[in-house]
Amino acid sequence: MSDDSPTYVTDEMRAAQGQWGQSRTSPPITETDIRRWAMATHYPQQPPRIYRDSEYAATTRWGGIVAPPDFNPFAWPVERPRGGGAPGLSGRRPDGRPLTGMNGGQTDTYGVPMRPGDVISARSRLVDWWEREGRLGHTLYVRTEIEWRNQNDELVRTRFSIGIRY
């Protein structure tokens, strides 16, 4: 990229690269959270019994209800972090106008399943980024690593996610 190309990369991003941010903790997962998640993602059909029928789930290898791997225990927190994290970590236009964000994709590796009663802790860090001219104009791609562990410090999920900012 030539020196006069625009960049949305900020000094805050450069300073944060590779540094784990503060950990945050989910509310305890309930059977209702899991059932509603599964019903929403299977709508209009019924979700599998492993997500909604505790008697059946007890007969499986899991010994009880487990959450779908894609379940998000961080939705609907009672208290949320102020400001949604440090400013500038998602990139910024040189003229200061806000960027539009989109989800570019992810790769998740799953460890132990999430279960009712679990409390999940998450931490994340900026891995790297790149910019290019796309159909939406100048576009910044940011790769973030997000690690989830349960209350027993067992690894639940590692995600490498690509955020698109334009």
Binding site for other proteins (CB under 8 A): 33, 36-37, 39-44, 48, 50, 60-62, 68-70, 72, 75-76, 100, 102-110, 136, 160, 162, 166
As measured in angstroms, the least distance from the Cβ of 97 to other proteins is 13
CB of 11 to other proteins, least distance (A): 27
Q: Which of 25, 30, 23, 24 is nearest to 114 (CA)?
A: 30
Q: How far apart are CA 117 and CA 115, in angstroms?
A: 6
Q: How far is the CB of 3 from other proteins (least distance, A)?
A: 28
Residue 60 or 151 with smaller CB distance to other proteins: 60
Q: Choose between 12 and 53: whose C-beta lies nearer to other proteins.
A: 53
The one-letter code for the residue type at 128 is D
How many helices and strands, by DSSP H and E, does the chain display? Answer: 3, 5
Closest CA to 148 of 138, 159, 157: 157
